[in-house]
Structure 1
Amino acid sequence: MMSTVANEEKQVADYAPEKVNNEGRTPTGDELVARAAAMVPGLRARADEIEINRAVPDDVIESFKNAGFFRILQPEKWGGWQMNPIVFMRVLQELGRGCGASAWVMMILGVHNWEFGLMADQAGDDVWGEDDETIVASSYPPVGEMTRVEGGYRLKGRWPTSSGTDHGKWAFIGALERNEVGVPVDRITLLVNQDDYEVIDDWYTFGLAGTGSKSLLIKDAFIPEHRTHSMIDYRDDDRPKMYKFPFSMIFYSSVSAVIIGFAQGAIDVFTEQMKVREDNGTGASTRLSPYVKDRLGNAVARVRSSKMRMEQMMAHATEIVEHGELVPNEDRIAYMLDIARVGRECEEAVLLLYKCCGARGVYKSNPIQRYLRDVLVGANHITQDGDNNAGALGGFLLGEGLPPLMYEKPASN
């Protein structure tokens, strides 16, 4: 008889074909979302194991590959399907219902494939020339030291929170480019080979522990020019339409999509529990309580609002880029608040449910506490900064202009 753990692993792996595109066609977005939804029970069953081990196991990543999730945003020239990013976001929302860490790692590692659409073709050839399933990790905070040299840059420093980095053979690293007097003039991403960095195991957290978001140490590396791009120099060029969205919009909204999944997972578990739970004092069915029904309804409203806002944002932006145009700044700055508000609304939703669970919610055997911890950590990500993004939008509407180094390079550069 198959063991419980082996059965759970098989449940995760069985939802997808053994090879992507094995019928010689590109799956539809709905098919990909269905594959993700089919993974939810198996991922939920393994979430504790993944959290304890502080890493998403290789077989789960392999299942994501087999489902085609890494090909959703990958450019066609390297074997990808070059889909609208909303497909990727819908997949992440489903995966987040099962295991927060696994979904987060899929989000981080998978969104990088879209980033190659912004770079010189040689960068994609360097990574996928021999294996178009090669995975790229990242750490974008501009905390290290970057120096321009002939033909590229030299890079050194320690970069934190590289989620799923154990699966990556390359990493995108963030850095500030400065002028001759040290003033930042651009935010740069540099593609670094794993031979040029060391992984430091320092990820000990109360939530999303399973993401294995370790630090990367670079002592001294040369990065050629073709392996770099600006994160803020948003301009028109001949790139395919699906890569004409702003970089920050796609990366930030992917984070929000996963967080929506966390909150929906909490709603799923809460609903299952309250349908059968009885009050300890009266024996009455808990689902009859107006308090329980009110909190569930308000949690659902917050999550639905977040999800619909993301859908509307992407539909509007898609219409713009499909016409070969760039998303205007007045839309971009509003989108950033749309994206950032997701974290706050989803953590509010999960907290509403958690407080309704009483003492039962504090036990580690109850998944609701893990969804709460994961959503709190996810909502602390810089992409979910609703306060500063609200202030930026308000200031823009009042004539203050765009925040520096967020939407465009300084005019003097």
Structure 2
Amino acid sequence: MTTASPPAVKTSSEHPLLAEARRLAPELSARSEEIEAARRLPAALARELADAGFFRMVLPEAYGGLELHPARIIEIVEELSRADGSVGWNVMIGACTAMVAAWVPESAARTIFSSPDVIIGGVAAPTGRAELVEGGYRLTGRWSWASGSQNCRWLTGGAVVTKDGAPRMVREGMPEIRTFCFPASDATLHDTWNAMGLSGTGSGDISVQDIFVPAERAFSLITERPRLDRPLYAFPALGLLGVGLPAVGLGIARRALDELAALAQTKKLMPTGRLLATRGVVQHSFAEAEATLRAARALLMETVNATFEAGARRELTVRHRAELRLSYAHAMRSAARVVDAMYEAGGGVSVHHSSPLQRCMRDIHVATQHAMVSSVVLESIGGVLLGVDPLAPLL
């Protein structure tokens, strides 16, 4: 297995955590098979990443976090994902879930993030039920795709709020939905993650049965504003929650380009003995893939920066939100096209377990299945851009 190509020269604006990601990259790449076989991040590696600060990228400074600009978060997750997709995915989940600290009361945030090495994860999808009771809620539910939960101290789960067993309605046809934070010790972890790609993310199910969650540990990213008045949390809430998703895709795609470039300098074609790099169709495919990836990344960064600035000015519009989510979906879908092209260009070598190209292919096609970047979201985005869906609350 080859490792990722050497990174670009460090610039004066490079964040120290990006430099740390690049330093760790060779070790992470070398451990890819171990991580995949374990179907989760080894606990010691998760602790190392936590100690370095990767899970504090989105956490408010007030609670010991780094509160990074979204563009810096993308760069760091992209670099980790270039080294190993599962590592990048788990860091993305843990780091972005920590945004809950900006939505819950200070007392709850300080309880959850009482230590700098805390990792939080979970699932926002409202597949649970939360009965409203005095002082809080009784929560029951089971959630799939709880990535990295084995290494988490706290977990989250989305749920429909009920009263006397019936859903509480915020308006006709719309029940109240909230996200709940609870200690990982209150949950049961189910070993259900046997996926074709991102195999090392430990994205199994979690469940709780009739646990009490205080009201201060329940919140809504859809209907409530953050409690901290900081530029990062003026960024669209769902956009901040998902900001690492396109970064994972871009990193996996960059790795595929790295691997094909290395293979093209060593693989000889039969019967001529010429290098793969001399084949015209491979040259064309590689050039097109490079342009596709860089264009998608440029659109992503441009849109993220514009959205962040609009949020800081308190001038966010629904169109900003739609264009942001479009840049996420476009980056992930473009990354998948790049990986597919490099896998095909590699020929028969690509199919072997020893080839990182097959892992890139498997990983990217699991990443594309995330609801936040799936083709379904393009309908809502298109509705906003065409002026026929002026609200689109889920953007």
The SS at the match of 2:265 is helix
Q: How does 1:201-350 map to 2 (within 5 A)?
A: 201-233=191-223, 235=225, 239-323=229-313, 325-350=314-339
From the superposition, tell whether residues 197 and 361 of structure 1 become closer, same or farther in structure 2 (CA, over 3 Å): same
The SS at the match of 2:243 is helix
Among candidates 373, 379, 383, match of residue 395 of structure 1: 383
Q: How does 1:38-49 map to 2 (within 5 A)?
A: 38-49=23-34
Once residues 83 and 397 of structure 1 are traced to their aligned partners in structure 2, the CA distance between those partners, rounded to angstroms, is 29
From the superposition, tell whether residues 307 and 54 of structure 1 become closer, same or farther in structure 2 (CA, over 3 Å): same
From the superposition, tell whether residues 372 and 400 of structure 1 become closer, same or farther in structure 2 (CA, over 3 Å): same
The answer on whether the counterparts of 1:187 and 1:405 sit within 8 Å (CA) in structure 2 is: no
Once residues 393 and 199 of structure 1 are traced to their aligned partners in structure 2, the CA distance between those partners, rounded to angstroms, is 35
The equivalent of 1:81 in structure 2 is: 66
Once residues 113 and 384 of structure 2 are traced to their aligned partners in structure 1, the CA distance between those partners, rounded to angstroms, is 41
Deviation at 1:192, TM superposition (A): 1.2
The SS at the match of 1:372 is helix
From the superposition, tell whether residues 244 and 81 of structure 1 become closer, same or farther in structure 2 (CA, over 3 Å): same
Structure 1 residue runs without a partner (length 5+): 1-10, 12-26, 408-413
The SS at the match of 1:158 is strand
The SS at the match of 1:345 is helix
Once residues 281 and 291 of structure 2 are traced to their aligned partners in structure 1, the CA distance between those partners, rounded to angstroms, is 15
Q: Which has the higher contact order (CA 8 A, sep 6+)?
A: 2
The SS at the match of 2:182 is strand
From the superposition, tell whether residues 86 and 114 of structure 1 become closer, same or farther in structure 2 (CA, over 3 Å): farther
Among candidates 154, 160, 168, match of residue 176 of structure 1: 160
Count of paired positions: 379
The SS at the match of 1:161 is coil
Q: Are 2:175 and 1:193 equivalent residues in the alignment?
A: no
The equivalent of 1:359 in structure 2 is: 348
Detail structure 1 runs of 4+ shifted over 3 Å in the superposition: 180-183, 234-238, 402-405
Deviation at 1:285, TM superposition (A): 1.6
The equivalent of 2:36 in structure 1 is: 51
TM-score by length of 2: 0.90
TM-score by length of 1: 0.86
Deviation at 1:200, TM superposition (A): 0.7
From the superposition, tell whether residues 400 and 293 of structure 1 become closer, same or farther in structure 2 (CA, over 3 Å): same
The answer on whether the counterparts of 1:135 and 1:167 sit within 8 Å (CA) in structure 2 is: yes
Q: Are 2:66 and 1:66 equivalent residues in the alignment?
A: no
Among candidates 27, 30, 46, match of residue 15 of structure 2: 30
The equivalent of 2:7 in structure 1 is: none
The SS at the match of 1:143 is strand
The equivalent of 1:14 in structure 2 is: none
Deviation at 1:43, TM superposition (A): 1.1
Once residues 226 and 132 of structure 2 are traced to their aligned partners in structure 1, the CA distance between those partners, rounded to angstroms, is 25
| Identical amino acids, percent of aligned pairs | 27
The answer on whether the counterparts of 1:196 and 1:220 sit within 8 Å (CA) in structure 2 is: no
Considering only aligned residues, what root-mean-square deviation do their CA atoms show, in Å?
A: 2.1
Structure 2 residue runs without a partner (length 5+): 4-11, 162-166
Deviation at 1:53, TM superposition (A): 1.1
The SS at the match of 1:276 is coil
Once residues 247 and 73 of structure 2 are traced to their aligned partners in structure 1, the CA distance between those partners, rounded to angstroms, is 9
The SS at the match of 2:15 is helix
The equivalent of 1:144 in structure 2 is: 128
Once residues 112 and 397 of structure 1 are traced to their aligned partners in structure 2, the CA distance between those partners, rounded to angstroms, is 29
Deviation at 1:190, TM superposition (A): 0.8
The answer on whether the counterparts of 1:176 and 1:184 sit within 8 Å (CA) in structure 2 is: no
Deviation at 1:201, TM superposition (A): 0.6
Cα-to-partner distance string for 1:151-187 (whole Å, 9 max, x where unaligned):
2222102111110101101101112344359943443
Letter in 2 for 1:336: R
The SS at the match of 1:162 is coil
